Amino acid sequence: MKRELELNVNDELWEVNVEPHKTLLEVLREDIGFTGAKEGCGLGACGTCTVLVEGAPLLSCLTLALEVQHKRITTIEGLVEGGRPDPVQKAFIEHGAIQCGFCTPGNILSAKALLDRNPRASREEIEEALAGNLCRCTGYQKIVEAVESLVGSE
């Protein structure tokens, strides 16, 4: 039986009518249309579906949409403000931290969550915080450098 729910995604309220077993990833991609969150494995082992819920990096593939009603959800699309990318997005671009781009939304959001709670993160802390986001192209070096470039810049 479908349920009506209201999700606050990227500072906008979205009313959707979905079955209770739908994951946040399914609803974002299929009901709302934010396809920036990807399914890399669907089982919580790769981080490509990472979104921010109240600023915390969660796996949308293992989160029921019903569980995050009334919470502030941010997807990669929501980091762009007034047509301008977020500093984390910019740093990823400028440091060459993006190759195929499939893991990029998840990596950027994990990095965003880290920097928001720990703006002075060390290299070790950055590596650990991003160790739940697999990347097959870059070898992570440029991803870590991109995040490092933002440390203490505020």
Partner 1 sequence: MGSETYSQVGKAQPQIDALAKATGQAKYTADFNLPRMLVGKLLGSPHPHARVLSVDASKAIALKGVKAVVTGRDVLGKKYGMFKSRRDETGLALKARYVGDPVAAVAAVDEETALEALDLISIEYDVLPAVFDPEEAMKEGAPQLHDEYERNVVADTHYDFGDADAGFKESDHIREDHFFMQPNSHGCMEPRGVLVDYDITGKFTMWTSTQSPFHVRRDTSRALGIPLSKVRIIKPHVGGGFGGKIETHPMHIAAALLAMKTARPVQIILSREEEISITRIRAAMQIHVKTGVRKDGAIMAQYVKIIADSGAYSSTSIMMMYNAGLSCMIPYRIPNFKYDGYQVYTNKAVSGPFRGHGANQPRFAVESQLDMIAEDINMDPAALRLRNASQTGDTTISGLNFVSCELSRAIEESTKKAEWDKKRGRKETNRGIGMACGGFVCGARGAGHTASGTNIHVNEDGGVTVLSGASDIGQGCNSMMAQITAEELGIPVSDVTVIAADTETTPIDPGTFSSRVTFYSGNATLIAARQVKSQLAEIAATLMEASADDILFRDKKVFVKGSPDRFIPFGELVKRAEGFGHGRLIIGQGQWAPTNTQFPDRKTKWGNVSGSYSFSTQIAEVEVDRETGQVKVLDVTIGDDCGQVINPMSVEGQAEGSVYMGIGHAFLEQTIFGDNGQMMNPSFLDFKMATPLECAPATMVEVGKPDPIGPYGAKEIGEGLLITSVPAIVNAIYDAVGVRIKELPVTPEKILDALEKKETEGKS
Partner 2 sequence: MIRLPKMDHAAPSTLIDACSLMREQGEKARLLGGGTDLLVASKLRNVKPSLVVSLGGIPELRGIRFDEKEGLRIGAMTTLNELRYDPNVVGHYPALAEAAASVGTTQLQYMGTLGGNLCLDTRCMYYNQSEPWRKSRAVCLKMGGDVCHVVPKAKKCYAVFSGDMAPALIVYEAQVKLVDSAGQRTVNLKDLYTGDGKSPNQIKPGEILSDVTIPPPVEKQGSTYLKYRVRGSIDFPLAGVAVRVTLKDSGICQDCRIVLNAVSFGPVPVPDAENVLKGRELKEDFIDQAAEQATKAAHPVANAIGATPSYRRKMIGILTRRALMSLAN
Report the alpha-carbon distance of residue 122 to residue 69 in Å, rounded.
34
Residue 94, contacted partner among partner 2, partner 1, none, CB below 5-8 A by kind = partner 1
Rg (CA), the chain: 15
**Which one of partner 1, partner 2, none is in contact with 50 (Cβ closer than 5 to 8 A by kind)?**
partner 2
- Rounded to whole angstroms, the Cα distance separating 118 from 125 reads 9
What is the DSSP annotation of 41-104?
A: SSSSSS-TTEEEETTEEEEGGGSBGGGGTTSEEE-GGGG-BTTB--HHHHHHHHTT--SS-SSH
Subset of residues 115 to 134 that bind partner 1, contact rule: CB under 8 A? 126-128, 130-132, 134
Site string for partner 2, 72-91 (x = CB under 8 A): --------------------
Task: Please state, in angstroms and rounded to a whole number, the distance separating the CA atoms of residues 142 and 135.
Answer: 11
Told to check if 87 binds partner 1 by CB under 8 A, we report: no
Under rule CB under 8 A, residue 151 binds partner 2: no
Q: Contact with partner 1 (CB under 8 A): which of 8, 14, 31, 39? A: 39
Q: Which residues bind partner 1 (CB under 8 A)?
A: 29, 34-43, 45-46, 48, 75-77, 79-80, 85, 89-90, 92-94, 96, 98-105, 108, 126-128, 130-132, 134-144
